[in-house]
């Protein structure tokens, strides 16, 4: 079995407290992998370690069969990243920004320009050719960030909340591009709080809570005949909170019959 990502007791602590705690994952090549967990579970920190943004406190990982600690430069040439913060250069236009990113990945200038034009057209951003990124909407920024992440044709793509805060049109455009990448053999590693999207797109999932791996495997085995959100809540140990303490949400009584409704 070939793996795009393998982690071995990967751990990150801040001020002595574990944010990611002995995490061991295996992500098969060509998989659309959903990495799930509640807020603060350690998802973004894990991505930052796997992409070389922050160093692990302990443990190790292999990315595309490269050792993470020894071959970080080689890894970065072969992966793409859409971080939650996006971090775009706002004083450039879309074509300028993508051409710059393409050149940073050592694409020939002509190739970078051509790919930038193709990506902008595919994402419906070609109409904003002369618009500064500063003036882009949130959805436009998400699409531009994805264009920048795939302009060099990566083998592995990391997506941190790519569907958060965007409309249905932008969401559809992003999903179409991701589908093309999968058909080319790329691996996609996705974090998202929108479980309906995960359920629709992902083939494999893992769930972490408080930095610890709670479940990993094929999505169909996790959800079974139930909805993904029900399986997720069960695994992370969520208990329903009563709303009876909110007097204004108490059941109303019928003034004529005295019955509650």
Q: Full-prediction pTM beyond 0.85? A: yes
pLDDT band (50, 70, 90) for residue 163:
confident
pLDDT band (50, 70, 90) for residue 243:
very low
Q: Are 222 and 33 in contact (CB under 8 A)?
A: no
Name which of 45-49, 187-191, 251-255 the model is least confident about.
251-255
Name which of 29-43, 90-104, 111-125, 244-258 the model is least confident about.
244-258
Could you give the CA distance from residue 170 to residue 144 in angstroms, rounded to a whole number?
11
Could you give the CA distance from residue 133 to residue 96 in angstroms, rounded to a whole number?
10
Residue ranges per structural domain of the chain: 3-249
CATH class belonging to 3-249: alpha beta
Q: Are 98 and 151 in contact (CB under 8 A)?
A: yes
Strands of the chain (E only): list them.
3-14, 17-23, 26-28, 32-36, 58-63, 66-67, 79-82, 156-160, 187-191, 204-209, 212-218
Q: Which two tokens stand for residue 44?
A: 């973004």
| Predicted confidence (pLDDT) per residue in 95-131, tens digit | 999 999 999 999 999 999 999 999 999 898 988 889 9
């Amino acid at each position: 079995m070939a793996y795009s990502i393998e982690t071995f007791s990967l751990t990150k602590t801040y001020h002595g407290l574990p944010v990611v705690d002995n995490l061991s994952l295996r992500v098969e090549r060509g998989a659309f992998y959903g990495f799930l967990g509640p807020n603060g579970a350690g998802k973004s920190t894990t991505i930052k370690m796997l992409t070389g943004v922050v160093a692990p406190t302990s443990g190790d990982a292999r990315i595309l069969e490269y050792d993470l600690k020894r071959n970080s430069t080689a890894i970065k040439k072969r992966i793409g990243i859409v971080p939650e913060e996006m971090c775009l250069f706002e004083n450039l236009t879309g074509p300028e920004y993508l051409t710059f990113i393409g050149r940073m990945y050592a694409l020939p200038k002509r190739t970078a320009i051509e790919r930038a034009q193709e990506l902008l057209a595919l994402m419906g951003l070609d109409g904003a050719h002369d618009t500064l990124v500063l003036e882009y909407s949130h959805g436009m920024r998400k699409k531009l960030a994805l264009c920048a992440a795939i302009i060099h044709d990566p083998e592995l793509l990391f997506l941190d909340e790519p569907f958060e805060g965007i409309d249905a049109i932008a969401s559809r455009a992003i999903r179409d591009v991701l589908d093309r990448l999968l058909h080319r053999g790329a691996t996609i590693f996705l974090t998202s709080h929108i479980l309906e999207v995960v359920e629709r797109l992902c083939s494999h999932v893992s769930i972490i809570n408080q930095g610890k791996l709670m479940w990993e495997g094929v999505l169909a085995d996790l959800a079974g005949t139930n909805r993904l959100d029900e399986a997720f809540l069960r695994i992370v140990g969520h208990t329903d909170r009563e709303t009876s303490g909110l007097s204004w949400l108490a059941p109303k009584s019928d003034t004529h019959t005295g019955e509650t409704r």
